[in-house]
Structure 1
Amino acid sequence: MKKSLIALSLALTTAFAANATVTYHEPDAQMEANLNAYGAGVENWEEARLTQLTMADSHLYHHYALIHNNPEKALELKVIGGLDVSKIMLDNVIPGKKISLYDVMRDRAAIQNYVVMNKKGEIIAEDYWNGTDKDTKNHIMSAHKSFTSMAIFIAEREGFLKMSDPIGKFAPEVKGTQWENIPLQNFADMSAGAVDLPDSRPDYHWGSYGAGTTGSWDSNMPSVMGYNGLHVVDGKLLPKADNLGQLNTFSDYLKIFATTTSPKYAPGEVYEYKDVNTEMLGLAIVRSSGLTLSEFFEKYLWSKGGFTSDMTMYVNQAHESAASGSANMTARDFAIGSLLMANGGKNHLGEQVLPKGYVDAILNGDDSVKAAWSKVSYEYMIFPTAFYKNQWRTATHPVTGRTISTMIGVNGQYSAFDHENGNVISISGAYRQPSGQQMVMLYMFDTMFTIFDKLASNSK
Structure 2
Amino acid sequence: MKKTLLAFSLCMGLAVSAEAAEFQGRDEVFVEAAQQHAISIYDWDSAENSASTFPHAYKFTHSYRISRGLLGSDQDVIVPEQFKRGQLDLASISTSDIEGDIPLYVFLRDRLKNHAMVVLKGDTLLHEHYWNNMNPQSLHLDMSVTKSFTSLVAQIAVAQGKLDMRKRVIDYLPELKGSAWHTATVQQVSDMRTSLIIDTPPHASWDDRMTTSQSYNTDTGVADYPKGISDYLPLVKNVNHPMGHKYDYQCANTEVLGKVVESATGEKLADLYEQQLWQKVGLENDAYLMADHAGGAMASGGLNASTRDLARIGKMLLNDGKNYLGEQVVPKAFIDQMLAGNDQVRAAWKLSKEAALADGWYIDQFRVLNVADHQILAMVGIHGQVVAMDKASGVVIAMNGGYPQTETPRMALGIFHKVIPAILNAVNQQS
**What TM-score results when the alignment is normalised by the length of structure 2?**
0.90
CA distance in 2, matches of 1:31, 1:249: 23
Match of 1:373, SS state, is: helix
> How many pairs were matched up?
411
Match of 1:48, SS state, is: coil
Mapping 1:74-85, distance limit 5 Å: 74-85=79-90
Q: Which residue among 319, 322, 339 is the counterpart of 1:343? A: 319
Kindly state the Cα deviation for residue 362 of structure 1 after the two structures are TM-superposed: 1.6
> Match of 1:292, as an amino acid?
K
Tell me the equivalent position of 1:251.
230
Q: Verify the 8 A CA contact 1:35 1:41 in the aligned structure 2.
A: yes
The reply on whether 1:434 has 2:406 as its aligned counterpart is: yes
Tell me the equivalent position of 1:116.
119
Q: What do residues 177-204 of structure 1 show as CA deviations (whole Å, max 9, x unaligned)? A: 562231100111111232x12x57xxxx
CA distance in 2, matches of 1:66, 1:340: 22
The reply on whether 1:378 has 2:353 as its aligned counterpart is: yes
Mapping 1:177-216, distance limit 5 Å: 177=179, 179-194=181-196, 196-197=197-198, 199=199, 207-209=201-203, 215-216=204-205
Q: Verify the 8 A CA contact 2:222 2:293 in the aligned structure 1.
A: no
Tell me the equivalent position of 2:144.
142
RMSD: 2.1
> Match of 1:100, as an amino acid?
P
Tell me the equivalent position of 1:212.
none
Q: Name the structure with the higher strand share.
A: 2
Q: What do residues 365-416 of structure 1 show as CA deviations (whole Å, max 9, x unaligned)? A: 11111111121x22112x131211111111112xx31111111101000011
Q: What do residues 153-184 of structure 1 show as CA deviations (whole Å, max 9, x unaligned)? A: 11111222111111001112222456223110
Q: Which residue among 86, 93, 99 is the counterpart of 1:88? A: 93
Go from structure 1 to structure 2 and tell me whether the alpha carbon gap of 1:110 and 1:73 turns closer, same or farther (over 3 Å shift). same
Kindly state the Cα deviation for residue 247 of structure 1 after the two structures are TM-superposed: 4.5
Tell me the equivalent position of 2:9.
none
- Gap regions ≥5 residues in structure 2: 1-14, 72-76
CA distance in 2, matches of 1:105, 1:143: 19
The reply on whether 1:225 has 2:211 as its aligned counterpart is: no
CA distance in 1, matches of 2:178, 2:112: 47
Once the two structures are overlaid, the 10-residue window that deviates more, 102-111 or 168-177, is: 168-177
Q: Verify the 8 A CA contact 1:26 1:62 in the aligned structure 2.
A: yes
Tell me the equivalent position of 1:163.
165
CA distance in 2, matches of 1:230, 1:314: 15
Kindly state the Cα deviation for residue 151 of structure 1 after the two structures are TM-superposed: 0.8
Q: Verify the 8 A CA contact 1:62 1:229 in the aligned structure 2.
A: no
Tell me the equivalent position of 1:388.
362
Tell me the equivalent position of 1:29.
28
Kindly state the Cα deviation for residue 26 of structure 1 after the two structures are TM-superposed: 3.0
Q: What do residues 50-99 of structure 1 show as CA deviations (whole Å, max 9, x unaligned)? A: 2112111211232211111145313323250210111212344324xx42
Go from structure 1 to structure 2 and tell me whether the alpha carbon gap of 1:178 and 1:327 turns closer, same or farther (over 3 Å shift). closer
- Gap regions ≥5 residues in structure 1: 1-15, 201-206, 210-214, 232-238
Q: Percent identity?
A: 29
Tell me the equivalent position of 1:41.
40
> Match of 1:81, as an amino acid?
G
**What TM-score results when the alignment is normalised by the length of structure 1?**
0.85
Q: Verify the 8 A CA contact 2:116 2:131 in the aligned structure 1.
A: yes
CA distance in 2, matches of 1:246, 1:269: 32
> Match of 2:243, as an amino acid?
P
Tell me the equivalent position of 1:369.
345
CA distance in 1, matches of 2:68, 2:131: 25
Kindly state the Cα deviation for residue 129 of structure 1 after the two structures are TM-superposed: 0.5
Kindly state the Cα deviation for residue 275 of structure 1 after the two structures are TM-superposed: 0.7
CA distance in 2, matches of 1:47, 1:184: 33
